[in-house]
Amino acid sequence: MNPIAAIGRLSLDIFGEIGRMTTFAVEGALAAVTPPFYWRPFLQSLARIGYASLPVVGLTAIFTGGALALNIYEGSIFPDANAFIPQILGVSIVRELGPVLASLMVAGRCSSAMAAEIGAMRVTQQIDAMSTLSVNPFRYLVGPRILATTIAMPILVLIADIIGVYGGYLVSVYLLDMSAPIYINALIDFISHDDVTSGLIKATVFGFLIAVTGCYYGYRSGGGATGVGNATRTAVVAAAVLIFAANYALTSLFVDF
Amino acid sequence: MSEQTAKIEISGLHKSFGANHVLRGIDLDVAPGKSLVVIGGSGSGKSVLLKSVLGLIKPDRGTMKVDGRDVARHSASDKKFVAEQTGMLFQGSALFDSLTVWENVAFRLLYGEHKSRTKSKDKAIDCLAQVGLTAEVGELRPSELSGGMQKRVSLARAIAADPQILFFDEPTTGLDPIMSDVINNLIVDRVKAIGATAVSITHDMKSACKIADEIAMLYQGVIIWRGPPDELEDSGNPMVDQFVHGRADGPIQMQVRRYGKK
């Protein structure tokens, strides 16, 4: 095999996939914000993606906050290390760990579910059936999911931020003997409005990416159960990679500004 | 076609998937209010033909007129026009798992025509009654129904908006002989009741003879015979004869490759 041809084919495949997904994302965004709106599937998606993800996001946040507090305390070279805990923990949770970890958990839960559900609908001709019933399946299936995930994600991350910081509070106050008022005051003094906003902007972008990848791979799946399985796996991996890449890009942007 | 304008008119329809030429110039027309059944072996292109007319697959070339309008360009307005005129019963029923039975039947009314849930539910229950199902069934999920009931629900969904054209894709596949006959009777009854034009594809000869005003046979991407059901036995076409009698030997050779043989 000619290695140059192989590289060329691979490059074309990669750029082709990026192009298709970008087109899908733009069309999906338009379907989410232009009529006709399908309120029932939107509210169902909001409940499934937002409300049902609360336990897993909350647990992830509380344990991450607790572990982070311990690490800051144990890793510090200063004798009064616990004084730094609220500041470092607060900024880490609100800017990075809250949005990224919550989004990864939601990607695992929801991106896979979207790919599997839409993929199964594709292979059982339910999407074809929708077209024959005068309903645009893209608008009915993709638009509400993108809108719901994009709205739900910042709310989930805000809750994850609060729970994560509370996890750090529990460890700091009850395990490391830190004063509760000092922890709370240090947190309030150190976390800025911009820290919270940047985290929530990230969460909105991540929510959009989670829904787009789940819907994209589900909508394009074929080849029976194997095809749906592949779509599900690829959706989760793609969502995770895109979250990390977008996190870096957005962090660079926020640091510059 | 005679003096009457055809409800569906297909001319020189071609469709290939890579090197596989599935449709090789289909010419077919269906008069208003008539029931045409297209028969043919597995892989002969029946489903591709149906999906092309429905706008689910874009044909490579040829013309397709539905109610006088050429829809072969496959534009969004063409697809919308076809969807508004037609109802379809899918081979696997294709009911929406996440919705109740009545929501499935009323799907077009709820989400296509944006009618109220109360009015849509009333219409759905009426349609379910037309196919012999009670209002209680309407509250169930499709996964709670037997195959025969799923076909009935799919038929109810197809007729819910009183379409002018009905398509049936293998309506009796996977059903026992009695349930097949029940579905065939329902199809004949409902098509006549709403005065629709019907196009069905099947390889169930009993079903074909029961629901058809005319039968056309598709073989290797072209229509090789067309006539009324009572002429099927004496078609004079050896391929039709072999298919109708289900003989392995004859001019139609199935593409079977055995292990170890090229």
The per-residue pLDDT for B257 is: 53
Inter-chain residue contact A135 with B108, CB threshold 8 Å: yes
Is the CB of B150 inside 8 Å of chain A's CB atoms?
A: no
Q: Taking residues B3-22, what's their average pLDDT?
A: 90
Residues A59, A166: Cα–Cα separation, whole Å: 11
pLDDT of residue A223: 84
Q: The tokens 């034009």 sit on which residue? A: B197
Q: Please state the φ and ψ torsions of residue B69, each to the nearest 5 degrees.
A: -100, 130
Does residue B221 lie in a domain region? yes
Q: Is B108 exposed, middle or buried (0-12, 13-18, 19+ CB in 10 A)?
A: buried
Q: Report which residue type is found at A120.
A: A
Q: What is the pLDDT of residue B241?
A: 92
Task: Measure Cα distances from B189 to B183, B211, B255 in Å.
Answer: 10, 9, 38
Q: Quick check: is B168 in a domain?
A: yes
| Confidence at residue B4, expressed as pLDDT on a 0 to 100 scale | 66
Rounded to whole angstroms, the Cα distance separating B186 from B193 reads: 10
Q: Which domain holds residue A14?
A: 3-256
Give domain status of residue B86, yes or no: yes
Indicate whether B251 belongs to any domain.
Answer: no
Does any domain span residue B258? no
Closest to B166 (Cα-Cα) out of B66, B57, B64, B72 = B66
Q: What is the tally of structural domains in chain A? A: 1
Average pLDDT over every residue of B66-76: 89
**Which residues from A are below 8 Å from B88, CB to CB?**
129, 132
Whether residue B227 contacts residue B214, with contact meaning beta carbons closer than 8 Å, is answered with: yes
**Which pLDDT score is estimated for B262?**
40
pLDDT in the model for residue B256: 56
Phi/psi region, residue B217 (left: phi>0; alpha: psi -120 to 50; beta: rest), is: beta
Instruction: Give the ipTM of the model, two decimals please.
Output: 0.89
A102-133 burial: b if 16+ Cβ within 10 Å, else e: bbbbbbbbbbbbbbbbbbbbbbbbbbbbbbbb
Q: Which residue is closest to B157 within chain A, CA to CA? A: A133
What backbone torsions phi and psi does residue A218 show, to the nearest 5 degrees? -65, -45
Q: Cα A135 to chain center, whole Å? A: 29
**How many contacts does A have with B, using Cβ atoms within 8 A?**
58
The total of structural domains in chain B comes to 1
Per-residue pLDDT of chain A (257 residues; tens, 9 = 90+): 788 999 999 999 999 999 999 999 999 999 999 999 999 999 999 999 999 999 999 999 999 999 999 999 888 777 677 778 899 999 999 999 999 999 999 999 999 999 999 999 999 999 999 999 999 999 999 999 999 999 999 999 999 999 999 999 999 999 999 999 999 999 999 999 999 999 999 999 999 999 999 999 999 998 889 999 999 999 999 999 999 999 999 999 998 77
Residue A76 pLDDT: 75
Q: Tell me if B100 sits within 8 A of B144, measured CB to CB.
A: no
Say yes or no to pLDDT of B2 above 70.
no
Beta-strand pair B69-70/B61-66 = antiparallel
Q: Report chain B's mean pLDDT, rounded to a whole number.
A: 91
Q: Which of A38, A121, A134 sits opposite B83 (nearest CB)?
A: A134
- Which pLDDT score is estimated for B255? 62
Q: Which long-range contacts (CB under 8 A, 24 or more apart) does A54-60 make?
A: A54/A156, A54/A159, A56/A105, A56/A109, A57/A102, A57/A105, A57/A106, A57/A156, A57/A159, A57/A160, A57/A163, A58/A159, A58/A160, A58/A163, A60/A101, A60/A102, A60/A105, A60/A160
- Per-residue pLDDT, B74: 84
Taking each helix axis from N to C terminus, what angle separates A193-219 and A98-106, rounded to the nearest 10 degrees? Answer: 20
Contact between chains at A134 and B112 (C-beta distance less than 8 A): yes
Residue B262 inside a domain? The answer is: no
Interface check B71 vs A, CB under 8 A: no
**Distance from B226 to chain A by nearest Cα, in Å?**
27
Q: Which residues of B touch A131 (CB under 8 A)?
A: 54-56, 79, 83
CA-nearest of B91, B138, B87 to A134 is B87
* Residues of chain A neighbouring B107 (CB-CB closer than 8 A): 130, 133, 135
Amino acid in the structure at residue A147: L
For B35, the domain range is 8-245
**Is B60 inside any structural domain?**
yes
Q: What is the three-class DSSP state of A197?
A: helix
Say if residues B53 and B70 touch (Cβ distance below 8 Å). Answer: no
* pLDDT above 70: percentage of residues in chain B: 95
- Look up the CATH number of the domain holding residue B14: 3.40.50.300
pLDDT at B35: 95
Q: Please report the pLDDT score of residue A92 as a whole number.
A: 95
Instruction: Answer for the pair A160, A196: CB distance below 8 angstroms, yes or no.
Output: no
Whether the predicted pLDDT of B260 surpasses 50: no
State the Cα–Cα distance between residues B182 and B173, nearest whole angstrom: 13
At B249 the pLDDT is 84
Which sign does the torsion angle of CA B202, B205, B210, B212 carry?
A: positive
- Residue B2 within a domain: no
